[in-house]
Chain A
């Protein structure tokens, strides 16, 4: 077994090295172009010459994507004029899929290393850790490869990006509502604080005059690094949560809900207040701040955050939270300081809500206080319920399902559709949301436990029953 693993890992390592070698050595396109379109063929056809020139121009501009698009058109338009042998085809393949092949190579290398390591590990726990590492690595490699294949702006990537952000938001709300039993409806308010903090501190200095055009260019005149600003967004939300928590956490169930809802509305009004305009730009859009252009970023940030929340829930703190949820009086009798632990859960949940808000702002590329209404909180609450109160993996799964259905799969319901001459009834703008809310009501009424109940979807259910990590599967 051990020998077999080592041989396999060696083989994989060789393949990986080959992949990496070829990708790095992929020919430059203008040289390749000379192979594909010989000079004499080119001179015979003005159109072809123009097309080749266009590709070379794009390369000179450094716009590789556009060059590739133009190349595709050339290959489509002049299939009989181009000269393609196996060697050029292979070179072309590696040129086109340069990044993907490189990623694949690195991933396979990582995999073989993990395999080799696991061959020398005796303890089951360590082996599982290696397995988790491989799963996570393959998830991220997979996202990277898919992104490169379908393009950053495709609907799939949009759903994945937004889904990852909502996963964090749902898990952070679940920490409060599902694990600690505090029914808070302030999520949108904390997201708003996070989103604004992030946006205000990362708007490019050169654009500030434009963005704050009604407020003399604004008060903040420096830019923070992205990650620092995200952290600050979380801290700002946590700080607000701390202040709000002092009075409201003494309230019970629905009073707490309505009080936190009220605070979210107050935060929204304050951030729209004209008097703070030099900081918040009044009620107007904030834009031109640093955003991400790859799905890996939200996946990485919310992945780390969710992992932290999972660790917290499995610690003694997490057990105290659950004790409070199950029976406050008993928990207090066991020596748990109710107020301190509730405050802790509230602040931590808001911290991650703030980070989620910052990510959402990055995703939207513009941010405006008016959008952070209680409807947004309800949406996230419904995700938590669909996934199952008290299940992290449920929340994650439900987020992706929720976003994919509302943004993508159910979109066809919004379009007036004809099958032949038959007009499909009910299909028009708004129908999607009706169907969607009916589905939600069905879940709320008849599948009260949601997808996962309070179980987790871990390695345990995939493999033989053993302790496993909590990661999205």
Chain B
């Protein structure tokens, strides 16, 4: 028993930690999808951009400045992506907006590639959470323990925000019925902007945690976590924040179990298999509401 735990604890820890980081990204996906019915393909790249912002800012300024500035930068980036790539297409067919999000993702990736020549950058060390700790038999970084706690705290705060503030109520209204809420005098654009900003804020936090663990930043670093986080969002029921978080943890843990049993080639493919399985048998996910397609 002791051997079994000591052999498998590291997998579980890695799974929980990466699950928490996926959760941070997944919330951004699920909120945007809830409101715009848009898979924001550029979200994973915003996540990467946050990491680069940290790398470059930390080179010139102390940590207490670079941390908040990175978050600010990411929030502005998320906001601008929405303004530039999605807002002009508000009345266009859904397919056009999705193509635009693919284009935005392509642009962000190429831009980051250009700036860094595609070479890996070392993520700066954030003190305390980079410290090494030992739990039972496993040695790991502090961030592994911090991530799930921080994720839960942020999610609780977010749920409070959505349930008990005016902007939260507007968000819920818009995601229920876009047209009617517009008629009711809700400023749609403002709601959408705030949604993107919240999503980007969480992506920035997620990126700090993620890259403290996995320290090399490359332009495509966010693509896979982004897709997986999206799958987590679908798995939990798109539009549902607790669903996204639970989905993310499940994906993070199962992914590491797959690696543990030696099927490493399939660790990414598994996520997609899960996605397809969910889409076919329970398209609304674990906690999603049934959306009726109107004719």
Contact = CB atoms under 8 A, between A and B. Distances in A.
A248 B276 contact: yes
A454 interface: no
Nearest to A438: B107
A441 B114 contact: no
The winner among A177, A265, A270 for most chain B CB atoms within 10 A is A265
B107 A272 contact: no
B148 interface: no
State the main secondary structure of chain A at its contact with B: helix
A65 interface: no
A269 B39 contact: no
Interface string A416-457: 000000000000111101101110110011101000000000
A434 B114 contact: yes
A177 to B, nearest CB: 8
Interface in A256-294: 257-259, 261-263, 265-266, 268-270, 272-274, 283
B95 A253 contact: yes
Interface in A367-398: 375, 378, 381-382, 385
Contacts of A448: 89, 92, 96
B96 to A, nearest CB: 6
Given A430-B110, A437-B106, A437-B107, A253 B94 contact: yes
A382 B103 contact: yes
A266 B269 contact: yes
B111 interface: yes
Contact of A259 (B104, B105, B114, B275): B275
A252 interface: yes
Nearest to B281: A247
A75 interface: no
B94 A445 contact: no
A183 B293 contact: no
A430 B117 contact: yes
B191 interface: no
Interface in B104-140: 104-107, 110-111, 113-115, 117-118
B1 to A, nearest CB: 32
A385 B106 CA distance: 14
B9 to A, nearest CB: 27
Nearest to A267: B269
B37 interface: yes
Interface string A174-209: 000100000100000000000000000000000000
A255 interface: yes
State the main secondary structure of chain B at its contact with A: helix
A57 interface: no
A34 B271 CA distance: 73
Contacts of B104: 441
B110 A269 contact: no
B85 interface: yes
B103 A257 contact: no
A259 B279 contact: yes
A272 B265 contact: yes
Contact of A247 (B94, B106, B280): B280
A329 interface: yes
Contacts of B174: none
A263 B276 contact: yes
Contacts of B107: 434, 437-438, 440-441
B110 A437 contact: yes
A378 B102 CA distance: 7
Contacts of A375: 106
A445 B272 contact: no
A279 to B, nearest CB: 15
Given A382-B102, A433-B113, A258 B266 contact: no
A225 to B, nearest CB: 33
B181 interface: no
B288 to A, nearest CB: 12
Contacts of A269: 265-266, 268-269
Given A254-B98, A430-B118, A382 B272 contact: no
Nearest to B87: A445
A251 interface: yes
B269 A444 contact: no
Given A257-B39, A258-B275, A438-B107, A265 B268 contact: yes
Nearest to B88: A445
The winner among A329, A445, A446 for most chain B CB atoms within 10 A is A445
Nearest to A426: B114
B295 A329 contact: yes
A265 B269 contact: yes
Contacts of B275: 258-259, 262
A382 B265 CA distance: 29
B295 to A, nearest CB: 5
Contacts of A258: 39, 230, 234, 275, 279
Nearest to B113: A430
Nearest to A329: B295
Contacts of A253: 94-95
Contact of A265 (B88, B96, B115, B272): B272
A251 B277 CA distance: 12
Given A252-B293, A263-B272, A274 B265 contact: yes
A173 to B, nearest CB: 12
A448 B95 CA distance: 11
B111 A434 contact: yes
A341 B20 CA distance: 43
B283 A255 contact: yes
A279 B216 CA distance: 34
Nearest to A244: B276
Given A259-B275, A263-B276, A430 B234 contact: no
The winner among B99, B113, B280, B295 for most chain A CB atoms within 10 A is B99
Contacts of A446: 88
Interface in B250-277: 265-266, 268-269, 271-273, 275-276
A382 B106 contact: yes
10 contacts: A254-B39, A259-B275, A262-B273, A269-B265, A269-B268, A269-B269, A382-B103, A434-B114, A440-B106, A448-B96
Given A437-B110, A445-B84, A445-B89, 12 more contacts: A252-B293, A259-B275, A263-B276, A265-B268, A378-B105, A429-B117, A430-B117, A434-B111, A437-B103, A441-B107, A444-B96, A444-B103
- 10 closest Cβ contacts across the A-B interface? A262-B272, A269-B269, A430-B114, A437-B107, A433-B110, A266-B269, A444-B103, A437-B110, A247-B280, A434-B114
Interface of A: 177, 183, 247-248, 250-255, 257-259, 261-263, 265-266, 268-270, 272-274, 283, 329, 375, 378, 381-382, 385, 428-431, 433-434, 436-438, 440-441, 444-446, 448
